[in-house]
Amino acid sequence: MSISLTWEAEADLVVVGGGVAGLTAARTASLRGLRVLTLSKGGATDTSTQYAQGGIAVVAPHGDSVESHVQDTVIAGAGLCDPDAVRSIVEGGQHAVAALTDLGAVFDHGRDGEVSRTREGGHSTRRIIHAGGDATGAEVQRALNAAGLPVLFGAAVIEIVTGPDGVRGVIAVSDKGFGMVHAPAVLLATGGLGQLYACSTNPPGATADGIALALRAGAVVADLEFLQFHPTVLFTPGGVGRRPLISEAVRGEGAILVDSQGNSVTAGVHPRGDLAPRDVVSRAIAARMHELGTDHVYLDGRAIAGFEERFPTITASCLAVGIDPRVDLIPVAPAAHYQCGGVVTDTSGRTTVPGLYAAGEVARTGLHGANRLASNSLLEGLVVGERAGAAAAERRGRAERIPADTHFGVAELPRADRKLLQELMSEHAAVVRDGDGLRGAVLRLVGLISGGEADESAEVRADDPAAVIRDLEDAALTLAARALLLAAAARTESRGCHTRSDHPDPREEQRHSIGVRLGAYGRPQLITDGSAMTPSWRDAVPAAH
């Protein structure tokens, strides 16, 4: 069934998402004279960027080097980083932070007048800059919002329209109803997919939208099985949905992880102890919880002087549930945090579809490999966002218009009930997985989809964009879950943040990315031909669109 369109627009670039990558790209493209239309399905602060605490990893001027940051990133990435992409993005860090500072972002300074730097898991030195103590993302978002870029809030993309020449534009829904935007370039900056799980640090809008749009537009995604669980998320009995993060920087400043008997959780697990890469720490916590039959462990930050000044956001979150981190242990457990894989791109955000770009958490540039190093995400959003905004200029004037009779629909997209999906993924695709669980989840998910009633109500709800957006989100989550489960079942090894209890070791023959594209009947299919399964995906990305 087709939907009637009530509005039409034209742009040189459509940016989908209003977080760090999207707004950085939009700003860069606008400064280059492109007509940019930015669509954001929530409000100005409903982004994952807003909730980032720890900071931005950027090479420090003294006692640090690009080499060292690259090495830490590659070690955390457990054999799947693209070293050239890592170097390229790390090298872009200082320029990106300078540009953000010029825009008005204010970072914390020490008494010596220098920018303060903290340490987080997997970093060999103190190189994480931060703002407002533990509110770095909020400051980045504030500075970008203050740049005054025009953003259409409450608007979501239903479909990316392509032709033989690549991207032609998007079909979108906003409070004006369904519309069509003719544009030769679209940048996805939609964040991650934390809402696939019952507990996540991500905001409600992290619903895999970009993954689904990219797959349906013919792009390749990869490394989806590497879903990072943050080790220390505030635990409250029965707490679900977005859970407050307890930044790794708390451990960076000296807090320690202990179990319910007061014993260290990470002693003997890794030379860096509580500051090991976060996959290691999450696994150690999961193992200890299993051993003791508990649902959380504790973070002891009582020895940190001035905790409430250094970590005001965390202090407030703890106090809100009756825990005073200055005198109490903080109950914590791992929760879904970051999608390390995503839409395959080069380091300028170009995907395998001409005119389609992706940047930020939704993209797979090769920076994170099998496990993202802490605070490399804002860095990537800034660096690749800027480059993608510049790269989009290469498409100016290149595309045909979207044909008037283009067919699209929301109701026909397969989707499962969100709560059942979250339960399924939390049970079978969390910190530790196994083959039986993953295969069972694939089958169960197919049953959940096909068991649903055909629901055409979305088509008659053009006057209720929020309801249409909810249906789109459910469809995106369902497609992403299928792709993630397939890839996780195929990866019969443990690597980075993909841990299989039935295959506890890494296997050299699997040291490559697993890609997914959409096959017949809109089903995700693994890419199994040799060329697609090399460690580097740059060959799959056209040099210039």
Query: Which residues are at the interface with ligand SIN (CB under 6 A)?
Result: 53-54, 120, 245, 247-249, 338, 374-375, 377
- C-alpha angle with apex 195: 447 to 389, nearest 5 degrees? 120
**Which residue number, 17 or 133, has a Cβ lying nearer to ligand SIN?**
133
Shortest distance in whole angstroms from residue 376 CB to ligand SIN: 7
> DSSP code of 393?
G
Q: Give the span between the Cα atoms of 108 and 132, in whole angstroms.
A: 7
Residue 415 near residue 475 (C-beta atoms within 8 A): yes
Shortest distance in whole angstroms from residue 338 CB to ligand SIN: 6
**Which residue number, 245 or 384, has a Cβ lying nearer to ligand SIN?**
245
Whether 398 is a known active-site residue: answer no
**Which residue number, 134 or 159, has a Cβ lying nearer to ligand SIN?**
134
Shortest distance in whole angstroms from residue 18 CB to ligand SIN: 19
Shortest distance in whole angstroms from residue 278 CB to ligand SIN: 8
Q: Which residue, 212, 116, 159, is CA-closest to 14?
A: 159
Residue 187 near residue 22 (C-beta atoms within 8 A): yes
**Which residue number, 12 or 108, has a Cβ lying nearer to ligand SIN?**
108
**Which residue number, 137 or 179, has a Cβ lying nearer to ligand SIN?**
137
| Paired tokens of 37 | 């239309």
Residue with the closest Cβ to ligand SIN? 54
| CA distances (Å), origin 343, targets 127, 213, 219, 360, 527 | 28, 10, 7, 10, 14
Helix (H, G, I), strand (E, B) or coil at 537: coil
Q: Give the span between the Cα atoms of 514 and 492, in whole angstroms.
A: 12
As beta bridge partners, residue 300 has 256
Shortest distance in whole angstroms from residue 500 CB to ligand SIN: 23
Q: Which residue, 228, 216, 300, is CA-closest to 266?
A: 300
| CA distances (Å), origin 462, targets 169, 210, 298, 363 | 20, 22, 48, 30
**Which residue number, 54 or 465, has a Cβ lying nearer to ligand SIN?**
54
| CA distances (Å), origin 235, targets 263, 295, 440 | 19, 8, 28
DSSP 295-343: S-EEEE-TTSTTHHHH-HHHHHHHHHTT--TTTSPEEEEEEEEEE--EE
Shortest distance in whole angstroms from residue 53 CB to ligand SIN: 4
**Which residue number, 38 or 232, has a Cβ lying nearer to ligand SIN?**
232
Shortest distance in whole angstroms from residue 275 CB to ligand SIN: 11
Shortest distance in whole angstroms from residue 526 CB to ligand SIN: 28
Shortest distance in whole angstroms from residue 352 CB to ligand SIN: 27
**Which residue number, 73 or 377, has a Cβ lying nearer to ligand SIN?**
377
521: left (phi over 0), alpha (psi -120 to 50) or beta: left
Residue 58 Cα to chain centre, angstroms: 19
Q: Which of 27, 251, 278, 491 is catalytic?
A: 278
Helix (H, G, I), strand (E, B) or coil at 168: strand
Find all residues with CB under 8 Å of 535, minimum gap 6, and list them.
Answer: 79, 80, 82, 511, 512, 513
**Which residue number, 28 or 375, has a Cβ lying nearer to ligand SIN?**
375
Beta-strand relationship, 227-234 and 330-339: antiparallel
As beta bridge partners, residue 242 has 200
| Paired tokens of 156 | 């979501």
Residues recognised as catalytic: 278
